[in-house]
Amino acid sequence: MAILYGVVARGTTVLAEFSAVTGNAGSVVRRILEKLSETELADSRLCFSQDHYIFHILRSDGLTFLCMANDTFGRRIPFSYLEVIQMRFMKNYGRVAPYAPAYAMNDEFSRVLHQQMNFSPVILVWIHSTVLEEKW
């Protein structure tokens, strides 16, 4: 498993998160969310490096979808992971996400974050491409 941490947030409010590692990933993510909240909420893709990890960020619909992966893992698979997470989250919580309190979706959606981390990279990219084909 090369994706080690996943979170969905609205501004600095974490709605759901899962960590497969112990350490300071949560505090690093909080700092990233604070920095992002100071900028425009435009849809975008960003990456930040910290030690031997890359924090991949997908901003869409006023939400931030973020994952932490090993720095040797590349960009395609983490962003495929984030796009799948975004689609699943919006399908289930899109209407309530703008108003939900902190950790409102954590009980259910942290399992989804974890399950998607466990998919092999090939399966994850295939799911992403299949879902996008069906979407269009």
Give the mean pLDDT of 108-132: 71
pTM for the complete prediction? 0.85
Residue pLDDT, tens place only, 7-57: 999 999 999 999 998 888 888 889 999 988 777 667 889 998 988 899 999
- Tokens standing for 2? 């090369």
Give the mean pLDDT of 91-96: 95
Rounded to whole angstroms, the maximal C-alpha distance in the chain is 40
| Mean model confidence pLDDT for the chain | 86
More confident residue, 136 or 49: 49
High-pLDDT (> 70) share of the chain, % = 85
What per-residue confidence (pLDDT) applies to 82?
95
Any alpha helices (H) in the chain, and if so which ranges?
Answer: 25-37, 76-93, 106-118, 121-135
Are the C-beta atoms of residues 84 and 92 closer than 8 Å to each other?
no
Are the C-beta atoms of residues 117 and 1 closer than 8 Å to each other?
yes
